[in-house]
Every structure is written in structure tokens, then in C-alpha cells.
Amino acid sequence: MFDSGATKSVSTPFGAVVGQERLKEALLAVAVDDDLDGLLVSGEKGTAKSTLVRGLAELLPEQRAVADCPYGCPPDDRTRQCESCRERAALPVETRPVPLVTLPLGATRDRVVGTLSVSDALAGDAEFDPGLLAQANRGLLYVDEINLLDDHLVDVLLDAAASGVNRVERDGVSVAHPAEFTLVGTMNPEEGDLRPQLRDRFGLSVDVCGERDIDDRVAVIDGDLHGTSPADDTDDHRRRLHRARDLLDSVALTDDQKRDIAALCVDAGVDGHRADIATARAARALAALAGRPTATDGDIRRAAELALNHRMQSAPFEDAPDAEDVIDDHFEDGEDDSDTEASGDEDADSESESDSDASPDVDDDPETEEQPSERPSDQPTPGDDSEADTDGDTDDAPGSNPQPGSAADGAETPDDGAGGEGGDPGPDEQEDAVPLVPGQSRAEPAEKPGAAAAPDIDAPETDGGTGSGRAGVAPAAGNRGTRVRTERTDGTSGIDAAASVAGGGQST
């Protein structure tokens, strides 16, 4: 199916769709930069995916094309023209809307790539009937429910999207023509996933869902029942798009921003370099839509969300990581690193200032405070018990009561080592507590651990008699043992058979 903005009217204009701001932004970014490979739209049913894609074609500016060329070759770029246009000296030029071609799910391969009559080719007249790829050249190729597309058609799209050329071969006869298009696909994830090879061909992707705001849902109902929209800003979007396409070539990315994009893609663990390129191009497109000559960190963040969402890798039996979480972690780590560097510089400056302020005090003071170890032996120390009283008496005078643990005339006591190097223990120090020995009362003086004697325990009285049992039985005569079970007897023996049975077999 071939759609054109001049021949087909859109039921709901682009700006009249309620909500879906992320999808609108992604579509505009793809329309600004033709080198972006395309857009994959994934979401629920009935969320205006197809409506917005068709409305995008009306926003695009008209393009100049060769009038009688079935591929719409650009007249000013010889490298992008077909073989027939390159051979002609003069080319008729016309202005046409950007084509929007819909690829249906039931399309055949010949309908997509085109047909070539072998009989005519053998007769010398190779007539080629262009397919949908030829019609989509320099335009939009829209595939609804792209995840349900047959594999042989997916292979055709992959080849054309990779090379920008569609090649048809029949029995040795080959025809090639340009097929440069922006691929836009929509899908419902409930109906199946997309092949990884085709998924990676989309430059950007966006997930959509139904509106949750009650007022927005009411506006959707009014638009369907009465044909009214709360605010149709389609003209504003058209002006933004045209201005952004003119400004795109002048938008630049700094070297730090490029390195930041590369580091972000490495952190995301994506394959290849398509994610890096798509993020950079999308950031420039978003900056151009905002009318800025330089991309900002916010543009890079939003571009990364669009370029990495469908490229995240997942381990077996695990869900793929969320692209927004990876992006947030990357930018938060960058902010933390910058804050750490700034705080480190401030700390270094404050330390240098404090050192410069403290150094004059040391140099200008000629006299320093004496250390306790350098004091004369006759000079009393603070808190020493040998210090003189107010009435002139000393601790050595008669009638003085020296404190426990004090030393007179500098004599050392056994407790000197516990109080430090040069004095007695201060008033705040306390004696070590000693635990009580089991069985000792609190009234008794406590002893230090290890010095307590073992408690007296009465030894049990023992009897020196012989023990009972097998150990105390004396050996029997003849080494016959202590017990005889059975034994033959005769009339000459002195054993009474009846008595031996009654006595348990004991010999007399």
C-alpha cells in the first residue's frame, strides 16, 4: 500500500492525539535526522501508535524528486540516483510529499522486492515492476505488527536496511535500485517478540501505554464522539520539525559528551556500536528540536533512553535490565565523582590555609612550654602530694598524714608504675575491682585473681575390704574356673549330683 500526504487524509492529525508525548518526541527525532535507522514502537493495543505514524508524514516537508523516476531519485545527488537517472543528462524535477508506504503482513516476496519477467529479459527487454521497497525510497516504510512478519520478509528488510539497495535476481538477470527508507514498526509484546537481528536495526525505540489521567481519557472519548480535540498543535509541530531539520547540521557534541556516551553504552553492556551512534544522533536531533546549537546532558539522557531500551542484554532465565536504571546509575556516579573531586580540592585548600595560619605562631613564640620530662627534679608537679601547704608545712613534717600511694622525698613505691611515668595517681583514678571467689562473702577481704586458695573439700571415706565381682574371686583348684556349667561324674567322684544341681554347680 502506498500512502501520500497529498492523496490520503489522516483521520486524526498528529497534534490532535491526546498524550503520548514520548512517542511524539521519538517520531519527531527520527524525522529530523534521516540517518537514524528507524523507530520501534512497542505497547498496548489502542494507544494511537498507527495514528501518530501516519500523522507524521503530513509534518514532513515536501521533497524534490525526478519526475519520471519510479524510485523518486534526488535530482541534486548523483550518488543516490538509480542507473537510469545517472545516464541521463537532463532530469525533469517535481516536488512531492514524503512517501509513507505500509507493508502488510500478508504481502508476498515479489510484492515487496518487485518482479522481473524472465521471458522479457531473455528477449532483451528486461522490464522490472517495482515493489514496496522501491516506493518507500526516501520515505517512511511502516510495518504494523512487525513481530508477526514472516521470516523471509524480515530477511529482505534486513538486507535493504543494511545496504540501502534492493537487488532482485531471476535466473541470472539482476536489477538493483536505491532503497533508502526510515523503518517504523509497531508491535504488541503480548503477541510475541521480535528477532534480535531486526530489533537492532531500529535506531530508537519507545514503549507506550494508555493514558492514566482521567481528564485525558475523557478528552479521548470526546474526540471520538464529537470529532473535537482539546488542542490541535499540528502546525506547531510542523514548524518545529522544519526548523530542526535546517539546524541539525550546526548542532555539535563536545568531546566530553562523546566520551560520556561511549562510557554509558559500555556500562549498559550493549553489542556493537550502533547504540553509540544512535544515541549521538538522537541527542543532536533533540537539541535541534529545542532550537539549541549544542546538545545538553538532558538531551543525552533522553536520547540514551530511546537508543538503549531495546538493546539491553539479559542473562538466561532473567529479565533484561531496565535502561532507565542503568542510565540513572551512570549519571549519578558521574555526579558523585565530580562532587568528590570538588570536595577534595576544597579540603586541600583549607588544609593549606590552616598550615599557613599556624606556622607563624610557632616561629614568633621564642619560648615554648616545658615538657613534664624536662622539668627540674625540685619543681613540684600539679596534683603532687609533696606540694607545700599554705601554712608552710610539708608532708614530711610531724603530724602530717600522707595519702595512700604517695611517695615522700621522691621515693618510689610499688604503685608508681600504675599512675604513669612521673607521679601518683590522680584523684579521679579508682582502684581495680577484684572479683569474689565462689563461696566467699562480701565481708571477707577480696583477694586478687589467682591468689585465692582452693576450697577445702572432704575426701570420701574408702573401705579397704576386698571388692566384689570377678576381680575379687580367688582362682579355683585345678584351674577349673569360678563356674562350671556341666561335668561328667562317676561313682568314684566325691560330688553329689543332686547337690550340685541344687547348688548351682558349685563344688564342695
Which helix or strand (DSSP H or E) is residue 167 part of? strand 165-170
Q: Give dist(CA 29, CA 10) in Å, integer.
A: 21
Q: For residue 276, what is its C-alpha cell?
A: 553509540
Q: How far apart are the first and last CA of the chain?
A: 130
Output b/e per residue, 200-227; b: 16+ Cβ within 10 A.
bbbbbbbebeebeeeeeeebbeebeeee
Residue whose C-alpha is closest to residue 307's, from 262, 252, 253:
262
Q: Give dist(CA 131, CA 125) in Å, integer.
A: 19
Beta 2-3 vs 100-102: how paired, if at all? antiparallel
Q: Give dist(CA 312, CA 199) in Å, integer.
A: 11
Amino acid at 136: A
CB atoms within 10 A of CB 138: 20
Task: Given the residues 109, 238, 274, 292, select the one marked as catalytic.
Answer: 274
Amino acid at 279: T
Q: Give dist(CA 447, CA 433) in Å, integer.
A: 10
Axis crossing angle, helix 297-308 with helix 323-364, rounded to the nearest 10:
140
Which helix or strand (DSSP H or E) is residue 153 part of? helix 151-163
- Helix, coil or strand: residue 185: strand
Cα 92 to Cα 68, 95, 134: the distances in Å are: 7, 11, 19
Residues 6+ apart with CB under 8 A from 39: 26, 27, 30, 182, 183, 184, 185, 202, 203, 204, 205, 206
274 counts as catalytic: yes
Q: Torsion angle of alpha carbons 144, 13, 30, 279, nearest 10°?
A: -100
The DSSP result for 278-296, as a single string, is HHHHHHHHHHHHTT-SB--
Residue whose C-alpha is closest to residue 98's, from 55, 68, 131, 130:
55
Residues carrying an active site annotation? 274
